[in-house]
């Protein structure tokens, strides 16, 4: 375990768990819904016969199902098990993506992308929940495993957009072949993955009522709110990074892309250290607060950066804080629920994250629009981003304070491990 021991400390042992290895494999597919399509959107306008404005719907219809369906799928995974939901999600996600090159009818492509979005709801939330199932009795190992899974996602986000951009040069259909990865992964999961849940959850209304009661607990509710904050701040960065770099720093879009890559690498690397960070503190409160502040501070530094170099330093803090913060919040949610409610609670957390991601660009744009008449274009961007970031950090800090004040719900078997 030499190299792995050096990189991850004692928690390198999680990599030798076969179930976790399969979850890492499936994690390579989970971010493909956006990362394959985003770099090639403009190139699809011709083949699909649509404008640049309408082609953006390919992203919207993919993300839309998650807001409503993630909690539903989470409850379903608690009732029927993680394995069937994950297998079905991977199959639907992969097959719908592979079907896109078979048509040039934009409406049909939108329908296939919607089906991919439905499939996605059975992948990422179930992966996060399953990690919590496997390492439920070891808080430090669970945090490390969540971080390593996030790193696998980061690798996918780094590699597949580049492949997609290269393949579209050959033909517009070729990037969609990358979704084929999900199909054999589904087969491997079906054959080799061992169901981590010991028994089926509560039936019907009892399960829903128990989940709602758990989510209403002050500590759990605060964790759900806090879970939205890293995603909120990250999407402020993703949305306005190019605006700052191109319009305010007079650089080219390639530089903006490089900064996103730097932030992604920083988030992937930092997330691998989540286990060590958890072990270094008696409570998760301090690292949660520091991570949230790092994300916000990094985005604020980007907004006011006098040069690309300073902006680069800022995005390193943004990425590092995002990787640690997101991992710790996810880990906190998995440790806040008994097995039969874990899938539902984690899914609520992922919906909260999606909500934060959706609100971020809309709210920031509105603040900038209101500020522009008095501050001018440049001032409105800088101070608008700064104001939204400060608001996000304050919400995150208040959430952490509530988490620190209340104990876990007494029915949770993890009550002594997740703090």
pLDDT tens-place string over residues 330-374: 778 877 877 777 777 877 888 888 788 777 877 888 898 899 899
Q: Say what the pLDDT of residue 415 is.
A: 37
User: Residue 373 CB: number of other CB atoms within 10 A?
Assistant: 8
pLDDT at 417: 35
pLDDT at 336: 80
Say if residue 276's pLDDT is above 90: no
Asked if 272 and 155 touch (Cβ cutoff 8 Å), the reply is: no
State pLDDT tens for residues 41-93.
667 888 989 875 577 677 768 877 887 888 788 778 878 888 999 999 999 99
pLDDT higher at 11 or 37: 37
User: Which percentage of the chain shows pLDDT scores above 70?
Assistant: 87
Domains in the chain with CATH codes? 1-200 (1.20.1250.20), 203-419 (1.20.1250.20)
Token digits for 206?
């009892």
The DSSP H or E segment spanning 310 is: helix 308-334
Where is pLDDT greater, at 204 or 326?
326
Predicted TM-score (pTM) of the model is: 0.69
Contact 149, 164 (CB under 8 A): no
The predicted pLDDT at position 418 comes to: 35
Helices (H), 193-307: 204-216, 218-243, 253-271, 274-280, 285-304
Cα separation, 313 vs 262, whole angstroms: 9
Residue 117: which H helix or E strand, with range?
A: helix 106-120
Position 388 pLDDT exceeds 70 = yes
- Grouping H, G, I as helix, E, B as strand and the rest as coil, residue 5 is helix
Q: Is 399 exposed, middle or buried (0-12, 13-18, 19+ CB in 10 A)?
A: buried
pLDDT at 278 over 70: no
- Rounded to the nearest 5 degrees, what angle is found at the Cα of 33, between the Cα atoms of 20 and 177? 95
Mean pLDDT of the residues in the chain: 82
Q: Report pLDDT for 42.
A: 64
Highest mean pLDDT range out of 36-45, 185-194, 329-338?
A: 185-194
Residue 22 or residue 38, greater confidence: 22
**How do residues 223-268 score in pLDDT, each as one tens digit?**
899 999 998 898 788 767 777 887 788 887 567 767 877 887 888 7
* For the chain, percent of residues with pLDDT exceeding 90: 31
Average of per-residue pLDDT across 136-162: 76
């Amino acid at each position: 375990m030499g190299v792995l021991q050096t990189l991850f400390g004692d928690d390198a042992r999680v990599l030798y768990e076969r179930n976790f290895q399969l979850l890492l494999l499936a994690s390579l597919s989970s971010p493909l819904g956006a990362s394959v399509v985003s770099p090639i959107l403009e190139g699809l306008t011709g083949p699909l016969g649509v404008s640049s404005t309408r082609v953006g719907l390919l992203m919207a219809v993919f993300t839309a199902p998650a807001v409503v369906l993630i909690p539903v799928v989470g409850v379903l995974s608690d009732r029927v098990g993680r394995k069937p939901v994950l297998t079905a999600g991977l199959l639907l996600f992969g097959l719908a993506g592979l079907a896109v090159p078979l048509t040039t009818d934009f409406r049909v492509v939108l329908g296939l992308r919607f089906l991919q979005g439905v499939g996605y709801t059975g992948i990422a939330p179930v992966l996060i929940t399953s990690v919590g199932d496997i390492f439920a009795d070891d808080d430090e190992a669970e945090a490390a495993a969540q971080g390593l899974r996030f790193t696998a996602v980061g690798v996918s986000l780094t590699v597949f957009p580049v492949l997609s951009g290269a393949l579209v040069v050959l033909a517009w259909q070729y990037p969609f072949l990358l979704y084929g990865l999900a199909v054999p992964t589904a087969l491997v999961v079906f054959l080799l993955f061992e169901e981590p849940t010991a028994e089926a959850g509560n039936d019907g209304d009892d399960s829903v009522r128990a989940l709602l009661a758990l989510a209403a607990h002050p500590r759990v509710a605060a964790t759900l709110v806090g879970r939205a904050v890293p995603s909120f701040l990250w999407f402020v960065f993703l949305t306005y990074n190019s605006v700052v770099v191109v319009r305010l720093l007079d650089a080219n879009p390639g530089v903006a892309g490089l900064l996103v890559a730097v932030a992604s690498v920083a988030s992937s690397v930092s997330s691998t250290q989540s286990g060590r960070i958890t072990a270094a503190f008696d409570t998760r409160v301090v690292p949660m607060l520091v991570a949230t502040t790092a994300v916000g501070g990094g985005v604020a530094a980007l907004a006011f950066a006098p040069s690309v170099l300073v902006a680069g330093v800022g995005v390193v803090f943004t990425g590092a804080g995002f990787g640690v913060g997101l991992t710790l919040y996810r880990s906190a949610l998995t440790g806040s629920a008994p097995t039969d409610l874990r899938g539902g609670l984690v899914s609520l957390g992922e919906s909260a994250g999606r909500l934060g991601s959706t609100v971020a660009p809309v709210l920031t744009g509105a603040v900038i629009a209101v500020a522009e008449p008095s501050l001018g274009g440049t001032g409105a961007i800088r101070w608008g981003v700064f104001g939204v970031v400060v608001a996000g950090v304050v919400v995150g800090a208040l959430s952490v304070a509530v988490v620190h004040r209340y104990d876990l719900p007494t029915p949770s078997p993890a009550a002594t491990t997740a703090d």
